[in-house]
C-alpha cells in the first residue's frame, strides 16, 4: 500500500523533499503541497505532480488523502504543525530543529505523550549519511579503542540573510549536536562558545567555535563558519585511543593536473547530503509501514533544543554553561 504524503513549506527544502518523495522513495506518493505563499505551493505541486496545492497547511493536515506529513516550513512553525499532525494521528517527518527553544519543543513531547505513541521523526538526516554511519560503525567495532574527541567543521558559502550567531547555534549547529550524541552514544553536558575574529564579510559573529563536553568525558568541538565563501564544507574526525576516523566533504572525483590535486565541494547541503536525504525519507516511509520508528525521535529533537538553549546562553554570557540532563520518558525507550 502506498502512503500519500503532504508537504508543508515549498521553499528550498520543501521543494527538494517533494522531488525525493515523488521520484526516489518506494511505498509513497506525493499528494499535496502547502505553503503560506500559495503560489509557491502551486509551483512545486506543478513541478512534482502533486495533485493539490493550498495556502493553508491545516487544510493539508486534515486532507484524508494525506496519510503522512513532511514539515519543511520555517523553524518557528514546526511545533504547531507537528502538534496538529499528532492530534490528527498522522506520522510526521519534521525538518530540524524540532523548535527554536526547549520550551516550545516540550509542547511536541507533551502532545506525543498524551497521544501515547511516537508519530514524529526529526529530519536529522546526517544519521543516514555514509560518512557518519561509517565512523559510528567503525567505533562500535571496538578496534580503535574509546572515542576521545570529535572535531567537526560546518562551513557554508554564505549565511541566509535572517541568520545571526544565535541562529547559527540553534539551526546550523543542531546537526552537530544531534550527530555527536548519535555517533558517540553520549549526552552533552557542558558548552562553551568562542567568538573568532569576525569575518568582514559577515553580518554577525562568524566564525564561532562551540565546544561541548560529554557524559563520557569526551570533547566535541564544532567550527561554525557560515560565510566561508568558498563552498559548503562539512567534515569530521573522531579521535580514538588507537586511531582516528575521518570523513571528508568531497563527493566527487579527484582531478590531478598541473601539479595540483583538486576535488569539488558541493555548493550547499543538498548535493552533499543527497544520499542521506533519500535514505532518511525512505526510512521514514518504511517506518510508517512497519510501525517501527526510524531516525531521530521527537525526544532527540527536544534534547537538541535543550543543548542549543544552553549554547545560546553560553554565547551571550561568554562563559561555560552546564546542560541540564533530562529523564527520558518510557515512550522513547
Ligand atoms: N536538514 C537540513 O539539512 C536542512 C537544511 C536547510 C534547512 N532546513 C530546515 O528546513 C526548514 C525550511 O528551510 P528552507 O531553507 O527550505 O527555507 P525557505 O525559506 O527556503 O522555505 C520556507 C518556506 O516556508 C514558507 N512559509 C513561511 N511561513 C510559513 C508558514 N507559517 N506556514 C507554511 N509555510 C510557511 C515560505 O513561504 C517558504 O516557501 C527550516 O526549518 C530549516 O531549518 C534543514
User: What pLDDT, on the 0 to 100 scale, is given for residue 252?
Assistant: 65
With 0-12 / 13-18 / 19 or more C-beta atoms within 10 angstroms meaning exposed / middle / buried, residue 116 is exposed
What is the whole-number distance in angstroms between the Cα of residue 137 and the centre of ligand 1?
Answer: 32
Residue 161's pLDDT band, with cuts at 50, 70 and 90, is: very high
| pLDDT tens digit sequence for 232-290 | 999 999 999 999 999 877 666 788 889 998 888 888 999 999 999 999 999 999 999 99
Is the pLDDT assigned to residue 175 strictly greater than 80? yes
Nearest to 100 by CA among 80, 116, 85: 80
Distances (CA, A) of 214 to 83, 180, 237: 31, 9, 16
Q: Which residue, by CA, sits nearest to atom 19 of ligand 1?
A: 11
Q: Which of 18, 34, 72 should be mutated for ligand 1, with most atoms under 8 A from CB?
A: 72
Do residues 39 and 68 touch, judged by C-beta distance below 8 A? no
In whole angstroms, what is the distance from residue 202 CA to residue 320 CA?
Answer: 25
Distance from the alpha carbon of residue 149 to the mean position of ligand 1, in angstroms:
33
Residue 277's contacts (CB-CB under 8 Å, 6 or more residues apart) are 16, 17, 20, 125, 128, 270
DSSP element (H, E) containing 233: strand 233-240
Beta carbon of 61 within 6 Å of any ligand 1 atom: no
Q: Which of 13, 47, 59, 171 to mutate to test the pocket of ligand 1 (most atoms within 8 A of CB)?
A: 13
Mean pLDDT of 138-167: 97
For domain 3-124+276-296, the question of CATH label 3.90.105.10 is answered with no
Pocket lining: 171 vs ligand 1, CB cutoff 6 Å: yes
Domain boundaries, the chain: 3-124+276-296, 127-274+306-322
Task: Look up residue 37 and give its three cell numbers.
Answer: 505563499
Category of 31 on φ-ψ map: left (φ > 0), alpha (ψ -120 to 50) or beta: alpha
- Report the nearest-CA residue for atom 7 of ligand 1: 13
Average pLDDT across the chain, whole number: 96
Please tell me the distance between residue 244's alpha carbon and the centre of ligand 1 in angstroms. Answer: 36
How far is the C-alpha of 168 from the C-alpha of 160, rounded, in Å?
Answer: 10
Give the position of cell 523548535.
Answer: 99
pTM passes above 0.85: yes
pLDDT, tens digit, for every residue of 47-90?
999 999 999 999 999 999 999 999 999 999 999 999 999 999 99
CA of 63 to the centre of ligand 1 (A): 21
**Helix orientation angle between 173-184 and 130-140, rounded to the nearest 10 degrees:** 30
Q: What is the CATH code of the structural domain delimited by 127-274+306-322?
A: 3.30.360.10
Are 59 and 52 within 8 A, CB to CB? no
pLDDT score of 251: 63
Distance 18 CA to ligand 1 centre (A): 13
Cα of 215 vs centre of ligand 1, distance in Å, is 33
Model confidence pLDDT, tens digit, residues 83-114: 999 999 999 999 999 999 999 999 999 999 99
Residue 171 CA, closest ligand 1 atom number: 43
267 or 26, which is more confident? 26
In ligand 1, which atom is closest to the CA atom of 81? 32
Q: How many CA atoms lie within 13 A of 215 on its CB side?
A: 10
Shortest-distance Cα residue to atom 39 of ligand 1: 11
Task: Please tell me if the domain spanning 3-124+276-296 has the same topology as the one spanning 127-274+306-322.
Answer: no
| Cα(323)–Cα(306) distance, integer angstroms | 7
Residue written as cell 561509517? Answer: 134
Q: Ligand 1, residues 6, 7, 11, 123: which to mutate, most atoms within 8 A of Cβ? A: 11
Amino acid at each position: 500500500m502506498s502512503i500519500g504524503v503532504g508537504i508543508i513549506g515549498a521553499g528550498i527544502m520543501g521543494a527538494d523533499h517533494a522531488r525525493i518523495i515523488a521520484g526516489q522513495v518506494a511505498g509513497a506518493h506525493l499528494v499535496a503541497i502547502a505553503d503560506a505563499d500559495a503560489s509557491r505551493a502551486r509551483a512545486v505541486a506543478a513541478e512534482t505532480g502533486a495533485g493539490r496545492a493550498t495556502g493553508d497547511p491545516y487544510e493539508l493536515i486534515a486532507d484524508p488523502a494525506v496519510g503522512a506529513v513532511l514539515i519543511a516550513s520555517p523553524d518557528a512553525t514546526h511545533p504547531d504543525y507537528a502538534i496538529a499532525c499528532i492530534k490528527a494521528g498522522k506520522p510526521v517527518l519534521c525538518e530540524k530543529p524540532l523548535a527554536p527553544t526547549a520550551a516550545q519543543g516540550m509542547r511536541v513531547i507533551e502532545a506525543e505523550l498524551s497521544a501515547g505513541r511516537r508519530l514524529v521523526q526529526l529530519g536529522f538526516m546526517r544519521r543516514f549519511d555514509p560518512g557518519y554511519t561509517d565512523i559510528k560503525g567503525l567505533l562500535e567495532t571496538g578496534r580503535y579503542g574509546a572515542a576521545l574527541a570529535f572535531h567537526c567543521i560546518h562551513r557554508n558559502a554564505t549565511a541566509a540573510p535572517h541568520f545571526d550567531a544565535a541562529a547559527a547555534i540553534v539551526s546550523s549547529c543542531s546537526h552537530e549536536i544531534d550527530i555527536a550524541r548519535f555517533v558517540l552514544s553520549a549526552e552533552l553536558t557542558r558548552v562553551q562558545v568562542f567568538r573568532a575574529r569576525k569575518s568582514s564579510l559577515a553580518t554577525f559573529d562568524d566564525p564561532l567555535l562551540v565546544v561541548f563536553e560529554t557524559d563520557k568525558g569526551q570533547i566535541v568541538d564544532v567550527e561554525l563558519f557560515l560565510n566561508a565563501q568558498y563552498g559548503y564544507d562539512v567534515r569530521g574526525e573522531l579521535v580514538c585511543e588507537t586511531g582516528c576516523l575521518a570523513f571528508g566533504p568531497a563527493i566527487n572525483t579527484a582531478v590531478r593536473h598541473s601539479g595540483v590535486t583538486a576535488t569539488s565541494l558541493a555548493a550547499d547541503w543538498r548535493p552533499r547530503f543527497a544520499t542521506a536525504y533519500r535514505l532518511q525519507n525512505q526510512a521514514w516511509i518504511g517506518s510508517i509501514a512497519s510501525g517501527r520508528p526510524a531516525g531521530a525521535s521527537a525526544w532527540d529533537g527536544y534534547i537538541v533544543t535543550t543543548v542549543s538553549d544552553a549554547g545560546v546562553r553560553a554565547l551571550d554570557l561568554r562563559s561555560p554553561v552546564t546542560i541540564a540532563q533530562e529523564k527520558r520518558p518510557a515512550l522513547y525507550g
